[in-house]
Structure 1
Amino acid sequence: MADLLRKSLRNLWSSLRHHPPAAWVTLVISLVLTWAGWYVTNQFIQHRASDRYAFQVKDVLGAIQQRMQTYESMLRGGAGLFGASETVDRREWKTYVQALQLDQRFPGIMGFGYIERISTDQLSAHLSRIRTTGNPDYVIRPEGQRDVYSATTYLEPDTEANHQALGLDLYAQPNLRGAMDRARDTGMPALSRLVSLDHVGAHDLLKERRLFMFLPIYRKNALLQTAAERQNALEGWIYTSMHSQDLLRDILGASNAEIDVEVFDGTDMRRDTMLYHDLGEEEPHLGRTDYAPDFSQTTHLEFGGETWSLFIHTQPGYIAASDTGQPIIVALGGLALDVLLFLMIGIMSDRHQQAHRIASAMTEGLQQSETRLRAILDNFPFMVWLKDEEGRLLAVNEPYAHACGRPDISSVVGMSETDLWPQDIAQAHEEQAQLAMQDRLEHITIGRITRAGQERWMEVHCAPWCANNGTVLGTVGYTLDISEQNKRSNPCAPASGVSVRSSNKLR
């Protein structure tokens, strides 16, 4: 039996050695193409999964940013109530917060309240006022002497935990003072780091780890240009407290089950800084050597002066077994795959060439359109311009460049009119542009200038340039020399003066 096998192998080898060279070349090419097919298929699967993962990451980041902006809007609404009222009492605050429907519109919020800043000489009056309005046992906690006090004066919804928090001096908390000072000095919402409140006499729920967001309330009509002025004008803070796990679970609870999200407070991503874990686990996956997801990404988000770090990774089986088996099937396909690969390459080549032809035709068409538009603009017998919101020239025609003494258009684009015209003319144009953008109306200014020793009457048209959504992007306009018309229609025109009129609102 063994001799028969050895004889068969020798005959096979002899047959292979005598195959023509073309057969070997075909075999080599076939093996190369088979390997190429396996490689291309594997890369395609990886890229498709990567694109899906990138889209899911974008969804997660967008959901968090949108929710935090919603909470910021809630704080600004509370500040608006204080700004519009002479005083806000507890009943008014309760009515306002009930109208907000926190449970339905602001999930994750544990409390929405007002913290009053109290100096030492205001302390007795503050305690007396609160005690005579239905809270006779009211005290500021923690007790003790300090230069400045703060007290949680109003806090809704009216739960047992929030009731126990009334009188809490959050400014006495070192891990909250930084955020409160940052809000006070900047006038902007400020987010705290992850904190645990543990005051004597406080409800147990206040010992849970929370996030706080603060927005300052200043004295009405006070100067707020500098940090020192804001500090002097501070009356208190509107604030909200959020349970980090509940907040992020509500935001990300509906996220794709194929990925896991871990959120950390700050850039130091450890177990004790973890705000949220999608799977509810206590240990983060970040840094684990026994876990190798198909895709993972660490990114950062900025909120209210604080940074959140997110580790977003895929779950096991993100790339399905049916997908991972495809390269193996392709590799075993051999010559059949070679034919399909050749067809695919041919189709891809045709599509590439077709796309290139379409792109070339579109580019040529755009260039022709731009050339025609430029020819029209440059042959206008008057100046035409386009400026951005800051007054920088984005486009002009040749009459404009020549009128301001420039050799060509490229030497004008990017400059402002103060770089090109006398101060009085540039200032008049700037004022007209500001009026046009402010009123969203076309403004027409008629004035007199002196050019080459001759007095000329110029009619300047300036209109707002808006995006499709109505955002003002700048101004567009043109200037006509109406000296001859002015002489014919009003030969006794005054020697000086400027008149302005506006057309209907542009749409």
Structure 2
Amino acid sequence: MLAGMSPGPPPTTPPASLPEYGRNLPVTPFRGYLLALAVLIGALVSVILFWRNAHERELRAAEADFVAETRQIAELLRQRMMSYELALGSSASLFTSVRPTPQQWQSFVDGLEIEQRFPGMLGMGYAPYVTPEGLRQLQLESLDGGQELLQLQPPGIRPYYGLVLYLAPTTLENRGVIGFDMFADPVRHAAMAAARDSGRPHLSGPVHLLQDRYGAGPQTGLLLYSPLYNPGEPVSTLEERRQSMRGWVYMPFHMSSFVEAALPPRDRYGGIDFRLYDVTGSVPELLHAEADRNPGKTPAFISSLPIDVYGRRWRMDFRSGPAEVASPGLAGLRVTLAIGLLSSLLLFGLVMLLARTENRARQIATQLTEDYRRSEQRFRMAMVYSAIGKALLDHEGRVVEANPALGSIVGRDPVQLAGEVFSSLFDDASDPVRTSEMEAVADGVFRTTRRLRRDSGELRYAQLTYAPIPGNVGQDIARLVQVEDVSDRLRAEAQVRALNRTLESRVAQRTRELSLANNELESFAYSVSHDLRAPLRSIEGFSRLLTERYQQVLDESGRDYLSRVRNATARMGELIEAMLKMARLSRSELKPRSLDLSQLAAEVIAELRAAEPARKVEVDIEPGMHAVGDPTLLRNLLVNLLGNAWKFTGESARPRIEFFRERRPSASPTYVVRDNGAGFETNYADKLFRPFQRLHSQEQFSGHGVGLASVKRIVERHGGSIQAEGTPGQGATFRFTLSGDWELGASPRS
């Protein structure tokens, strides 16, 4: 029976249609069962179709992942082979310029750190391309050098030889290969001839390396050859390359170690197995094979991928694991199918339970009514006992209800406020009926501060918070406004602002006093430097006259004393000049413009080379470094920094100076001057930028000790900073920044 309907008195005479209605009643549950059965069948069909589509998608996704992983494996092998070729190219560059001695070759190979960087590589060697006459010459050179006679393996007379002359590191296995004629072996011969005729590195077919004679057993090995030609001779045609052929640098390596080093751990590729074949010839040759991780199981996917590697063609055959390994998501789909079937059964039961929901709906309605009553009670208690003034307003902005706290704030009885326009309670209301606050609150919460005057004449300030609130059906309630008396807080804020203004005034006054003191100090230093020159000139002049006129009268000690006086006078003059330069740095006006620091640095280096043409210093200046600053000051900066680097590399075997730029995200560029000279202890870096502070003796490196102090002032005047790092005997590095864009009116860089 529907809620709200009265059953009424039972009819005395049943209507004529009642028997037909009674006969149709049993049909309704049957139709419900049919509906539930139809829902069950439809749900089962939908679940099965969804599972089949998801199963196909999962397999396609797993196959795509399998193909991507196979390509990644191939790319990793190709990249590893490129790193081997780059190492071989560096050794070829060494032979292009000079032919190193065995000791130099050993040192070069040791520097490559083969065991750590190139696992599987047995060494790096050199094989000259010689005729029988050239072979005899090599054997004579070995005897002249105090070495054992170079033995040819295998012996015999052939038109050309490609025997191993150098092979480092000099292990027992590698020493046994010296003298082996690789050009006599067909597989090695093919690779060496291809490298010679093409002018590019070439990879050999699979061979058994001679070093494996001393190991646990033979392994599949490969050799990578790079040709060497006589420098300066043309090699554009095949005939020219053969005529100019000098030899090969080569590297032997084991294929299994090469693959293991190139690829990540096996777990990375799940159940993928692969074999690597050399298919350059008519018959494929196995290079590497991994153990079958899924023996006896049918792979879900199979793929073959050909790759070209330095003149050879490889083929990689990949086999995935079985379907449950290659596509782990299939197991989840089985769970999904089971859940779908279970959900279909639950849906069938849900349809059967729909008839029982009416009673539950009545219970819920009763509970909601009680909840509403309790919510209304809580709201009323919050209104009455709140310490913040609150009022309910209608659409016209009139007070519908006010709490006691609001009456206490405005100084009136809250009952008397009902019906009054809320804005009329304040002194600064422009429109008492439709104020801007009432219009803005329609978009959400709105806050403002208003001024009110109580009936007693006391002026107060209140912070108002408007918020939309719904009313009951038929009740005109649109907004809730909360009123908080903030008079005391505003007075405190005003006092704080007044105190801040006073504090700013005192700070400005102290700043002016400090600026005046700095100006007076600079003027004093400038004046003292000028005034000291006159007596210094007198001392130097009279000392020179004594030397010229009374040299014969004075003994050796007297002449030495006069020489020391004149040297000290010259030294003091240089210090005074340095002080004047530092004073001019602080007093001169900045005239910033855009500058090419690279060009300025090149000019400074050219002047240094002209002053000392006998010195050979390697200088590397990054091109295109632009900055904004004063041209004179920045040139002074580079003169001091580059001049210091030039001076302190005077005792270096191979002096080198670098000037470049470091870029950092969201920051000004950092300019770096680096050298490999005398260096210094980093702990004393701060002393470098103090006037007349030196970390080296005058006899070792001459100077006044004001150059870097001037550099620091120039950098700081351009809004930047400078840092110094160094290591004794290994050089020094100076990093500085320039933040002078604001001088031209541009926005400061972040």
Matched, 1:225 2:236: yes
Matches within 5 A, 1:349-360: none
Relative to structure 1, the CA distance from residue 88 to residue 239 in structure 2 (aligned partners, 3 Å threshold; closer, same or farther) is: same
Q: Amino acid of the residue matched to residue 215 of structure 1?
A: S
Q: Retained in 2: the 8 A contact 1:249–1:276?
A: no
> Which residue of structure 1 aligns with residue 226 of structure 2?
215
Among residues 46, 49, 52, which one is paired with 2:59 in the alignment?
Answer: 46
Alpha-carbon contact 2:273-2:290 (below 8 Å) kept: yes
> CA offset at residue 296 of structure 1?
2.9
Structure 1 residues 345-494: aligned runs within 5 Å: none
SS of residue matched to 2:164: strand
- Distance of aligned partners of 1:305 and 1:222 in 2 relative to their CA distance in 1, 3 Å threshold: same
What residue in structure 2 maps to residue 311 of structure 1? Answer: 317
Give the counterpart letter for 1:236 in structure 2: G
CA deviations over 1:386-415 (Å, ceiling 9, x no partner): xxxxxxxxxxxxxxxxxxxxxxxxxxxxxx
Change (3 A) 1:174 1:331: farther
Is 2:305 aligned against 1:294? no
Amino acid at match of 2:327: I
Alpha-carbon distance between aligned partners in 1 of 2:345 and 2:101, rounded to the nearest angstrom: 81
| TM-score, length of structure 1 as denominator length | 0.56
Pairing 1:168–2:180 present: yes
Q: Deviations along 1:403-460, whole A, 9 cap, x unmatched?
A: xxxxxxxxxxxxxxxxxxxxxxxxxxxxxxxxxxxx99xxxxxxxxxxxxxxxxxxxx
How many residue pairs match? The answer is 320
- 1:248 alignment counterpart: 259
Amino acid at match of 1:296: I
- Measured in 2, the distance between the counterparts of 1:83 and 1:117 equals 14
Q: How far off its partner does 1:305 sit?
A: 0.8
| Partner Cα distance (1:259, 1:233) in 2 | 51
In structure 2, list runs of 5 or more residues that go unmatched: 1-29, 349-622, 625-750
* RMSD over aligned Cα atoms: 3.7
Post-superposition offset of 1:297: 1.7
Kindly provide the amino acid, as one letter, of the partner of residue 36 in structure 1: L
CA displacement, residues 140-163 of structure 1 (integer Å, 9 cap, x when unaligned): 101112111111010011111101
Is contact 1:164-1:202 (8 Å) kept?
no
Which residue identity is paired with 1:233? S
Give the C-alpha shift of residue 277 in structure 1: 2.7
Residue 107 of structure 1 pairs with residue 106 of structure 2: no
Q: Confirm or deny: 8 A CA contact 1:31 1:334 kept in the other structure.
A: no
The answer to whether the 8 A contact 2:276-2:289 is kept is no
1:332 to 322, 325, 341: 341
1:300 is aligned with what amino acid? P
Per the alignment, do residues 249 and 337 of structure 1 end up closer, same or farther by CA in structure 2, a change over 3 Å counting?
farther
Say whether the 8 Å CA contact 1:114–1:154 is kept in structure 2: yes
Bigger-Rg structure (1/2): 2
Q: Deviations over 1:35-59 (max 9, x none)?
A: 2111122123323433433443233
Q: Is the contact between residue 293 and residue 313 of structure 1 (CA under 8 Å) also seen in structure 2? A: yes
1:149 partner SS = coil
| 8 Å contact kept, 1:198–1:206 | no
Superposed displacement of residue 334, structure 1 = 5.9
Higher relative contact order (CA 8 A, sep 6+): 1
What do the CA deviations read for 1:94-122 (whole angstroms, capped 9, x no partner)? Answer: 11111111112222211211011111222
Amino acid of the structure 2 residue aligned with 1:142? P
Residue pair 1:116, 1:152 contacting (<8 A) in 2 also: yes
Mapped contact 1:187–1:230 kept (Cα < 8 A):
yes
Q: 1:26 to 1:250 in 2, by over 3 A?
A: same
Contact 1:295 1:313 in 2 (8 A): yes
Residues 1:153 and 2:165 aligned together = yes
Q: Quote the residue 1:71 is aligned against.
A: 84
Tell me the TM-score normalized by structure 2: 0.39
Deviates more, 1:268-277 or 1:291-300: 268-277
- CA–CA distance in 1 between the matches of 2:130 and 2:347? 81
Residue 158 to residue 323, structure 1, CA distance change in 2 (3 Å): farther
How has the CA–CA distance of structure 1 residues 131 and 328 changed in structure 2, closer, same or farther, with 3 Å as cutoff? farther
Aligned residue in 2 for 1:123: 135
**Residues 197 and 60 of structure 1: is their aligned pair in 2 closer, same or farther, counting only changes over 3 Å?**
closer
Which residue of the partner structure matches residue 234 of structure 1? 245
Shift of the 171–336 alpha-carbon distance from structure 1 to 2, 3 Å rule, reads farther
Equivalent position amino acid for 2:108 in 1: Y
What CA distance in whole angstroms lies between the structure 1 residues aligned with 2:230 and 2:92? 12
Aligned in 2, Cα 1:56/1:179: closer, same or farther, shift over 3 Å?
same
Residues 114 and 121 of structure 2 are in contact (CA less than 8 Å); yes or no, is this contact kept in structure 1? yes
The structure where strand makes up a greater share of residues is 1
Q: State the SS of the aligned residue for 2:77.
A: helix
Cα deviation for residue 215 of structure 1 reads 0.4
1:207 to 1:20, Cα distance in 2 relative to 1, 3 A? closer
Q: Distance in 2 between matches of 1:62 and 1:93?
A: 32
Go from structure 1 to structure 2 and tell me whether the alpha carbon gap of 1:129 and 1:55 turns closer, same or farther (over 3 Å shift): same
Residue range with higher mean Cα deviation, 201-210 or 164-173: 201-210
| 1:273-331 C-alpha deviation (Å, 9 max, x unpaired) | 3322333x6xx99xx9x542223321122110111211223235233373353354256
- CA–CA distance in structure 2, aligned partners of residues 110 and 332 of structure 1: 62
Residues 162 and 266 of structure 1: CA distance in aligned 2, closer, same or farther (over 3 Å) = same
Distance 1:67 1:171 in 2: 26
